[in-house]
Amino acid sequence: MKARVHIMLKNGVLDPQGEAVRHALGTMGFDGVDGVRQGKVIELELAETDASKAEAEVTKMCEALLANTVIERYEVELI
């Protein structure tokens, strides 16, 4: 089973990378981009075949290592 974790900064947390991308797009002539938020996607190949157990295990991984839950939010998607 595969799991995909989407990690983004929480609303209200400054995103300097996203702001740099927004600025660069503007200088390249892409007008009308008012904001950019940059995140990351992590794909995991899991041995677990039970969906609820897999989701619980990936959630533990996110809480322990994959996401900084103070400033980031995450979503687990089983694929």
pLDDT computed for residue 50 by the predictor: 98
pLDDT computed for residue 19 by the predictor: 97
Q: Residue 12: which domain range? A: 2-78
β-pairing, 72-78 vs 40-45, is: unpaired
pLDDT computed for residue 40 by the predictor: 98
pLDDT of the chain along its 79 residues, tens only? 999 999 999 999 999 999 999 999 999 999 999 999 999 999 999 999 999 999 999 999 999 999 999 999 999 999 9
pLDDT computed for residue 28 by the predictor: 97
Coil, strand, or helix at residue 60? helix
Domain count within the chain: 1
CATH number for the domain harbouring residue 10: 3.30.1280.10
Q: Which of 15, 8, 78 is nearest to 48 (CA)?
A: 78
